[in-house]
Structure 1
Amino acid sequence: MKSVVTWFKQSCVASDELRKATTNQKKLIQDVSTRWNSTYYMIDRFLELRGPINEIVIRHKSAPPMLSGMEQSIMSAVLPELRSLEAATKEISSDKYTTSSKIIPIMHCITSKIKSLFIEEPIAKEVQNIILREWELLSLLHH
């Protein structure tokens, strides 16, 4: 996915075609290694625009290969987990100084939200398990 997004960012022709193909002229979002949530935004926008992206990629010999249906399915399955983490990140980042009285309820809420997700995709299920294990470790540190 990253190579496709990078290709669109580097190709004026492809970017123009994508803007024309979407009713709201949205662009793809490139992730930034220092900000995890940029990966979430990249996946979300990519999935939103995958139809026009696919049509454009097919027409250009210089384009990198498009994600397979399986890869897109995995991204779609992981997105709700990342969306929950993004909501928590925004909430925690909204205050200049976040107190532990806010962190603990947010962690509980996110844990409940992620546990309640029904996930069939094995890789997305593994991501869910990793997130829950990490949250558990964090909650042990706060007690």
Structure 2
Amino acid sequence: MPTFGCLAHKLNLVVQDALDLINDTTVKVNKIVNHFRKSTISKERLLTYQMNQQNIAQPKTVIKSVATRWNSVYLMLQRFVELKEALRATIPNLDVDLPIIPIEEWKCIEQICIILKPFYEATSEMTAESYLVASKANILTSSLINICEKYAQMQDLYLPVKTLAEKLKIGI
């Protein structure tokens, strides 16, 4: 086991490595996110849909990921899922060639977020503290391994998500 000060860094490397398995999906999501971040018209339509069709008083926009921080990929995917209805309604009405996210891939993204959430929470907890107690490091590591084992054995997970869970477990 690495020194405890390095655990957050090791988790970052493990998750970044595992995310390579879903690179095709994250590239598609990134293209869509980049479009909405750059196009004021598209962003406005996304926000308007949320306000008018979903009755959301404070609509949200997409979150861009940063290549060096895996947790920003998680936040991007999580927000993408959160905006699923608005994005699916808005994108076809734009005069832009954006990647298509089929229903199965949406479900896959949702499952990816479920698996990455405990890693995000563990990393956030570790980085919030100035030092990590050995017992807490062991508990976090064991919990993440157990979560990955549980997901890797689930029958209704999409294969890329199952493979992601297995790779995360091995990496820890």
TM-score bracket for this pair, using the shorter chain length: 0.7 to 0.9
Tell me the TM-score normalised to structure 1 length: 0.87
Secondary structure, counterpart of 1:34 in structure 2 = coil
- Does the aligned pair in 2 maintain the 1:84–1:114 contact within 8 Å? no
Match of 1:7 among 28, 35, 42: 35
Please tell me the root mean square deviation across aligned C-alpha atoms, in Å. 1.4
CA distance, structure 2, for counterparts of residue 60 and residue 17 of structure 1: 9
| Greater RCO, 1 or 2 (C-alpha within 8 Å, sep 6+) | 2
Give the match for residue 66 of structure 2: 32
Give the match for residue 19 of structure 1: 47
Secondary structure, counterpart of 2:80 in structure 1 = helix
CA distance, structure 1, for counterparts of residue 100 and residue 64 of structure 2: 16
Give the match for residue 112 of structure 2: 78
Secondary structure, counterpart of 2:136 in structure 1 = helix
How far has the Cα of 1:85 moved from its partner?
0.6
Structure 1: any 5+ residue segments left out of the alignment?
136-143
Of the structure 1 ranges 59-68 and 89-98, higher mean CA displacement relative to structure 2 is found in 59-68
- Does the aligned pair in 1 maintain the 2:81–2:106 contact within 8 Å? yes
Letter of the structure 2 residue corresponding to residue 53 of structure 1: L
State the identity %. 21
CA distance, structure 2, for counterparts of residue 57 and residue 90 of structure 1: 33
Letter of the structure 2 residue corresponding to residue 134 of structure 1: G
Task: Determine if the alignment matches structure 1 residue 107 to structure 2 residue 144.
Answer: no
Q: How many residue pairs are counted as aligned between the two chains? A: 135
Q: Which runs of 4+ in 1 moved over 4 A?
A: none
Structure 2: any 5+ residue segments left out of the alignment?
1-28, 51-55
